[in-house]
Amino acid sequence: MTEIETDDEEYRPRLTFNCTEKQFLKLQEIIPWGLKKLIFQNVAQDVIEGIEKFGTVFIKAALDRKLRYGIHKEDKAVTSREKTTNKKEVKK
């Protein structure tokens, strides 16, 4: 993910949108504490990159809910232990 740089480190723009109460409560339930901000920052960056690469085709696909998740069987969930330890294996 590409970081957006600003001259003023104190400036923190925000992006807000309306959702249903049901969506809000479900997001609260299923997203682990502390990860919501990071997830939505990544989603925002993916949208930027998608529009830059595909233009209005990406926008239409998003509005038609035709974007794909891109998750493969080989991908695995990160456990809380992996998040905190994050140790590299040393091959001998």
The model's pTM is 0.66
pLDDT 10s digits, 4-46: 665 667 888 999 999 999 999 999 999 999 999 999 999 999 9
d(CA 79, CA 35): 13
For the beta carbon of residue 34, count every other beta carbon within 10 angstroms.
Answer: 8
SS3 60: helix
Q: Does residue 2 register a pLDDT over 80?
A: no
Span 57-79, pLDDT tens digits: 999 999 999 988 877 777 777 66
Output the CA angle 13-16-17, nearest 5 degrees: 160
The two tokens of residue 75 are 């991908």
Altogether, the residues listed in the chain come to a count of 92
Strand ranges (E), 7-85: none
